[in-house]
Structure 1
C-alpha cells in the first residue's frame, strides 16, 4: 500500500509539474509574440488536465482593434502551438460563425480555458458571452435540411445492410455514424463536433443513444458486423422523423446540396 501511494504521489507530482510548465510556456508565447494583447486564454487538454508531453497548446488571444483576426500554427520551444487570434469585433464574428456551424469551438475555449492575461476584464466579458451562447445551444436545423439528412441516412443504411466489400462497408459506416450523430445532436439542440470532439459531444447530448451509436460503429470495425450500428442509427433516424425515400424532393438552389451535411442550405 505504501509503495502504491508513493507511486500515485509521483504520478500526481509529474502531471502537476507538466501542467505548470505548459501554462508558463503559454504565457511566454503570449508575452513574446503579443506584448500588447488585451487577453489570452489557454484551452484544450492542458486546461482540462489531460495533457501529455506531446500535447499542443491551444491559445485564444484577444488583440487591439487595429489587428488582424486569424488562426496561426507555429512551433515554440519545440512545441506545436495553435493560436486563435482575434480583435473584439473579430471575436463576435467568430462566435456567430461557430453558432451557425453548431460547434461552438471558440465559445468552449473561453468557457473552460485558463486565463493567462486579462486587461480590464476583457477575458471575463468574452467568457460571459461564450457562456450565454453555450447555455442557449445551437439553432435547430431547418425542416428541409433535416429531410435531406434523413434521406441521406436512409440511403446509407440501405447501403450498409447490403455492403459486401469490407472497405466500402467501413466507409459507409463512417457516413452513418456522422449523419446519425448530427441528427441526434439536432434533436436535443446540442452542440456537435468533429474528430475527437464528435464522440464527446455525442455522449453529452444523449449518453444512452450516443453510446449505442459509438458502440455499434466500434463493433462493426472489430467484427465487420453492421447490425448494431444499423439498429442504433435507425433509432436515431426515427427520432428525426423516420426513413425518407419516395416523396423526397428538392428544388435547385444554384449549388450542389450534400445529403451528408446539408451544404448549400
Structure 2
C-alpha cells in the first residue's frame, strides 16, 4: 500500500486538480494509522458556500473526502462547538497541509482556536435536566434483574455520565472510543473509575460500583435529582 500522504496528493491531482487548498486529516495525519484506517482528505474551493462528503476507494485506500466551498466549513465548526463533539476542529487543527493556500491557513487557525476553547457551556437548566434523566436511569437500573435490560441500562448510564462529566467541565465529548479518550484526556483517574465500574458490573454483577460512579459524578452539581425538578 502506498504512503498515505503521497496517495492523498495523487488523489487530489487526479480528482480535484482545481481545488484552492487541501489537507490530510485523521489517524494518518497523526501517525496512528492501522491496517483498517482510511484517508480523511479535506478539499477547499472558492465560491458560494456549499459542502458535501463522499466515500470511495483509490489506489488501495478507502477515502473519506470532505469538500467545502467558500466558508461553508464555518457552519460545521459552530455545530460541533454546540453539540460538544469536535470532529471538524480536531481534524483541521491536526491536518497535514497538502496544497497551501491562505484559506487553508485561515481554516487551521480558526479550528485551533475553537478546539482549544472547548465546547459551548451548559446552563443550569441543562445540567439539572441531565441530573434528572440520569437519576431516572439509575432508579430503573436498580429495579432490574441482571440480564438484558440491565445491560442496556448500564450502557446508557455510563454514556450519559461521561457526557455529563465532560460537558460540565467544558471538555469535548466523543462517540464510541473517543468518549473514553476524552475522559482520559481530562482526568485519567476518573477514566479508570469508569472502566473499573463497568468491569465490576459485567464480571461480578456489582451494581453498586455503577451507582457510586454516578453519585461521584453528580455530587458536585447537587447529586441525583427528582424532587423539585420542573420543566415548563
> CA offsets per residue over residues 184-243 of structure 1, 9 Å max, x none?
112211111111211111211222223211331233233332322221222001123211
- Cα RMSD (Å) of the superposition? 1.8
Give runs of aligned pairs for residues 153-232 of structure 1, distance below 5 A: 153-232=134-213
Mapped pair 1:141 → 2:122:
yes
Mapped pair 1:89 → 2:71:
yes
Aligned to 1:263: none
Distance in 2 (CA, whole Å) between partners of 1:108 and 1:70 is: 18
Q: Is the 8 A contact 1:140 1:189 kept in 2?
A: yes
Q: Name the CA shift for 1:115/1:218 in 2 (closer, same or farther; >3 Å).
A: farther
Distance in 1 (CA, whole Å) between partners of 2:208 and 2:21 is: 50
2:72 counterpart SS class:
helix
Distance in 2 (CA, whole Å) between partners of 1:61 and 1:227 is: 50
1:69 counterpart SS class:
strand
Deviation at 1:55, TM superposition (A): 1.0
Aligned to 1:32: 14
Q: Which moved more, 1:179-188 or 1:224-233?
A: 224-233
Q: Name the CA shift for 1:139/1:130 in 2 (closer, same or farther; >3 Å).
A: same
Deviation at 1:67, TM superposition (A): 6.7
Identify the match of residue 116 of structure 1 among 93, 98, 101.
98
Q: Is the 8 A contact 2:146 2:205 kept in 1?
A: no
Distance in 2 (CA, whole Å) between partners of 1:77 and 1:218 is: 42
TM-score by length of 2: 0.92
Aligned to 1:3: none
Deviation at 1:66, TM superposition (A): 4.1
Q: Is the 8 A contact 2:85 2:173 kept in 1?
A: yes
Distance in 1 (CA, whole Å) between partners of 2:166 and 2:219 is: 14
Structure 2 unaligned residues grouped into runs of 5+: none
Aligned to 1:262: none
Aligned to 1:80: 62
Q: Is the 8 A contact 1:209 1:232 kept in 2?
A: no
Distance in 2 (CA, whole Å) between partners of 1:70 and 1:136 is: 26
Q: Which moved more, 1:155-164 or 1:166-175?
A: 155-164
Aligned to 1:57: 39
Q: Is the 8 A contact 1:46 1:57 kept in 2?
A: yes
1:50 counterpart SS class:
coil
